[in-house]
Structure 1
């Protein structure tokens, strides 16, 4: 068995290997911001006297630490946040005539941060769910698709239904809708006498890569665009199945805002303006997310659990 020092060294090495592949020409080009024009109609929907965290700016919590392309990462200067979520945040801010104030945050931090007013919004690959709608308002900007990825040499050929996870060790993030789906499937399986699955909770992309490549995990389950990006860049993993994020129904990823403060209407209008003028598709295209594009933003649509 490897000691902790050896495991840490391998994780770090895999992290740098992944980064060296991912930080190619695409990421260098994608450091250039994509902007859009102010939409006066959208800006007019900002509630009168609305108190932004930072006056004149939209303060947005984004996933960076422990995240991975295409959602969030640091540029070559190790301080500028880039990624598809940062690009979407910029379009929303531009459309409202505001500056963008990005705050790198952890997944565990965004719910309290948005509810308490620490952030004006969170753009964190957050899926609309019935439970979350009780506490937050949502303006959608992308479809939610989840993917199962395995080591490229794995003998597993398909995971896309409950029986397929029986007895497997699967990497999944705690507190996510993908975890909820796996737990629901596991309950069904155990009721039928099938072997339980084993969830593996890791803290970052490097740890996930290490677990898969070392054989400690059979598969990972998470946002499909992240898995697809990693598979293309490294060639060490492959897709074996997809599931809608709102299983068994479709679901959407959305800008998340404090419930009832009225800002969601302005954000939705800004997103729809970006969709209409083409800047939205520019963002999705350069991060290879256009397979999950939407035709228009919706406020608080049906989600997981509805």
Structure 2
């Protein structure tokens, strides 16, 4: 895909006082200024969510809802859900991965709740991504060695071997399959964050015609909008103007001031933002980037031979129920998949 412009990512700001359990609504309502919300689109693409367990703050049609009462714990004291080793799968792990007894996993803590973010103690990475990585490591009999990286840097660092796996709401797409192998574990949705009450009807290609849309650089969201723009131009309609911003605060300020009409980003994080604010809401819920559904997946350097056994480990957690516990913990139950499998260039 061709990036629109370069965009830097800002460090994540705290969303609540240390140790506080975040409830559904009112956390940031009525704030005088828009906070910096750390690269909400960076994790991607991901894709990277309405909740079957009732923790979603947004309905499928995009309007805010008040259903559900399960909180998201943002403290650093919580314990991850764990599982037991599968000895047969552990033996099937390639020697290059198991020789040191560790599974080195990278995540980006700028994705925002509930995916991958820094806890209130500002030192503990938490969210659904680290939790799924923990389950996979346990099942393969490896110690989880969690590393923090940036969205811009993970592709190169993965290719050079600085870490072995990426769990950062990475969506599978055709371009990435040329470079990486994957083991899928969640469905991916995208949405438009708009000012509360904005009746833009966003969600279909024609709906973005002539609009000014903020979007993360190099994300699946940007790729999809670019594809929509090509279709609009073929039909003689005005394309959307895509804008990247240097910080998340700038994105939200631009949205609040009307300089952009919407922010196109992962549904998971935008859903969370909409559920904790009274000035924004989501519109549309898109889950198709190319033929078939977009999936979030553990990401590996191509040809390392780990994807197949890793997918089997994830499948084992699905079958036993620990996978569902993790997704329900973070309000992502509706994004669950029944099957995890390896995705490669040869078998996408």
- TM tier, smaller: 0.7 to 0.9
CA contact (8 A) 1:63 1:71 kept: no
Structure 1 match to 2:175: 131
Work out whether residues 85 and 138 of structure 2, in 8 Å CA contact, stay in contact via their aligned partners in 1.
yes
Distance 1:77 1:15, change over 3 A: closer
- SS in structure 2 of the partner of residue 50 of structure 1: helix
2:103 equivalent in structure 1: 58
**Kept after mapping to 2: 8 A contact 1:67/1:204:** no
C-alpha contact 2:16 2:120 (8 A) present in aligned 1? no
Match of 1:281 in 2: 324
Residue 225 of structure 2: which of 157, 172, 182 is its match?
182
1:43 Cα deviation after fit: 1.0
- Out of 192, 202, 211, the residue aligned to residue 168 of structure 1 is 211
Does the C-alpha gap of structure 1 residues 133 and 247 become closer, same or farther in structure 2, counting only changes over 3 Å? Answer: closer
TM-score, normalising length: structure 2 = 0.76
User: How far apart in 1 are the matches of 2:262 and 2:16?
Assistant: 21
> Counterpart in 1 of 2:83?
36
CA distance in 2, matches of 1:268, 1:184: 30
Deviates more, 1:238-247 or 1:29-38: 29-38
Contact 2:312 2:341 in 1 (8 A): no
Among 235, 250, 260, the residue aligned to 1:192: 235
Q: For residues 254 and 17 of structure 2, what CA distance do their matches in structure 1 show?
A: 19
CA distance in 1, matches of 2:254, 2:260: 5
Give the Cα–Cα distance (whole angstroms) in 2 for the partners of residues 79 and 216 of structure 1: 35
Larger displacement relative to structure 2 (210-219 or 119-128): 210-219
2:185 to 126, 141, 163: 141
Task: Tell me how far 1:15 sits from its aligned partner.
Answer: 5.1
Larger relative helix fraction: 1
Q: Specify the alignment match of 1:76 in structure 2.
A: 120
Aligned to 1:27, which of 73, 85, 88? 73
Separation in 2 of the partners of 1:74 and 1:239? 24
1:1-306 matches, within 5 Å, as 16=14, 18-19=15-16, 24=22, 26-28=72-74, 31-47=78-94, 49-51=95-97, 55-64=100-109, 66-156=110-200, 158-300=201-343
Gaps of 5+ in 2: 1-9, 23-70
Please report how far the alpha carbon of residue 106 of structure 1 lies from its aligned counterpart in structure 2 after TM superposition: 1.2
CA contact (8 A) 1:149 1:241 kept: no
- In 1, Cα distance between the equivalents of 2:168 and 2:179? 16
TM-score for the superposition, normalised by structure 1: 0.86
Q: Please state how far the C-alpha of 1:214 moved relative to its aligned partner.
A: 2.6
> How many pairs are equivalent?
288
Whole-Å separation in 1 of the counterparts to 2:115 and 2:166: 13
State the alpha-carbon separation in 1 of the partners of residues 342 and 216 from structure 2.
Answer: 26
CA shift at 1:272, angstroms? Answer: 0.9
Relative distance call for 1:55 and 1:203 in structure 2 (3 A) is farther
Cα distance in structure 1, aligned partners of 2:196 and 2:146: 36
CA change 1:55–1:205 in 2 (3 A) is: farther
In structure 1, runs of 5+ residues without a counterpart are: 1-10
Distance apart, 1:289 and its partner CA: 1.0
